[in-house]
A = this chain, B = another copy of it.
Amino acid sequence: MLNRDVVKAVIFDTFGTVVDWRSSVAAEGKSAAHSNGLTEFDGDAFADAWRAGYAPKMKEVRDGKRPWTTNDVLHRERLDDIVADFNLEELDEIARSELNRAWHRLTPWPDSVPGLHRLKKRYIISTFSNGSFGLLVNMAKYSGLPWDGILNSDMFRAFKPAKECYLGAIELLGGDPTSVMLCAAHNDDLSHARKHGMQTAFVNRPLEHGPQQTTDLKAEQDWEIIASSIEEIADRMGC
């Protein structure tokens, strides 16, 4: 049950929850393809293919099969993996490096910036993301996300859902898990947050993966807040 009075910080999963990575990466992919003379290019398929490499590569790190690696490097590896499938092999080092930065320039969902501004007045608001520190700061500057702080995997040298992330965030925020609320569009992330004692807010993002999305279409547990926008979370949090 929501205990609003003890919440001091609301922390946010970022990719998918706060920003629409798919449309943003599709548009940047398309633009790179056009600059390279490709007139036919499926930006959505490109974004999906790029994103599909993310979880397996993070899992290699979590499973100890490779040392700690920041997600900018994982994004770049995956780009190199898929360029041939999209006829982008001719992109040179500079173009690939620039395209990799598409992940630093993701566009927020329309309710994100106004919702965050409202929540910021009463609570500490922060990222809680597997993105790199630089990526998250650049994204905030690019999109006007008014974070009070950046909590991310680089600091914990671990990717969610490793417990080091949840416990690390709780420690940095003063040590009381119930004073921290995780907002995420992903039931799995919330289930780990709850296991470690945080309060939880589900925000429904049924288009994160496009119109054919099959996962996270609804709340799968009785999260403290279940909402369809960050503005609605601000309503529920009395902001």
Interface string of A138-169 (1 = CB under 8 A from B): 10110000011110001100000000000000
Say how many copies of this protein the assembly contains. 2
Contact present for A141 and B124 (CB under 8 Å): yes
Contact present for A137 and B149 (CB under 8 Å): yes
Contact present for A148 and B141 (CB under 8 Å): yes
Q: How far is the CA of A9 from the CA of B149 in the complex (A)?
A: 15
Contact present for B124 and A137 (CB under 8 Å): yes
Instruction: Point out the residue from B138, B149, B171, B174 that lies within 8 Å of A150, measured CB to CB.
Output: B149
Q: How far is the CA of A126 from the CA of B134 in the complex (A)?
A: 12
Q: Tell me the count of chain A residues lying within 8 A, CB to CB, of chain B.
A: 19
Chain B residue numbers with a CB within 8 Å of A133 are 149, 172-173
Chain A residues within 8 Å of B, Cβ to Cβ: 124, 126, 133-134, 136-138, 140-141, 147-150, 154-155, 171-174
Q: A124-B137, A134-B174 are in contact. List 10 more A-B contacts (CB 8 A).
A: A124-B134, A124-B138, A126-B137, A133-B149, A133-B172, A134-B172, A148-B150, A154-B172, A155-B155, A155-B172
Q: How far is the CA of A137 from the CA of B120 in the complex (A)?
A: 11
Chain B residue numbers with a CB within 8 Å of A172 are 133-134, 154-155
A23: min CB distance to chain B, Å: 24
Q: How far is the CA of A136 from the CA of B150 in the complex (A)?
A: 12
A169: min CB distance to chain B, Å: 10
Chain B residue numbers with a CB within 8 Å of A140 are 148
